[in-house]
């Protein structure tokens, strides 16, 4: 029971960490002026990417 909670916490922390990194990169790119406007589908793609990377990273680190 406790290992499932630990795995869930690891996955959640990985997802949040990836989201923070992607947000920081996005802010830097916008700040440099390389991207003027970000379409909605790009934001959704980044959210889904961070979810996928977080889940896979959490499972990988649990093994």
2 pLDDT higher than 70: no
Binned at pLDDT 50, 70 and 90, residue 57 comes out as confident
Contact 59, 11 (CB under 8 A): yes
Q: What is the pLDDT of residues 13-52, one digit of tens each?
A: 888 988 899 888 888 888 888 888 888 888 888 888 888 8
* Residue tagged 């959640």 (tokens): 12
pLDDT score of 43: 82
Q: Which two tokens stand for residue 41?
A: 């589908």
Q: Which two tokens stand for residue 6?
A: 């630990």
pTM of the model: 0.76
1 pLDDT higher than 60: no
Residue spans per domain, the chain? 14-62
Q: Which residues of 11-30 are buried (b: 16+ CB within 10 A; e: fewer)?
A: beebbeebbeebeeeeeeee
């Amino acid at each position: 029971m406790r290992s499932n909670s630990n795995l869930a916490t690891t996955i959640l922390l990985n997802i949040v960490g990836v989201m923070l990194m992607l947000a920081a990169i996005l802010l830097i790119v916008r700040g440099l002026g390389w991207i003027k406007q970000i379409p909605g589908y790009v934001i959704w793609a980044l959210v889904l990417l961070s979810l996928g990377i977080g889940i896979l990273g959490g499972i990988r680190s649990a093994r």
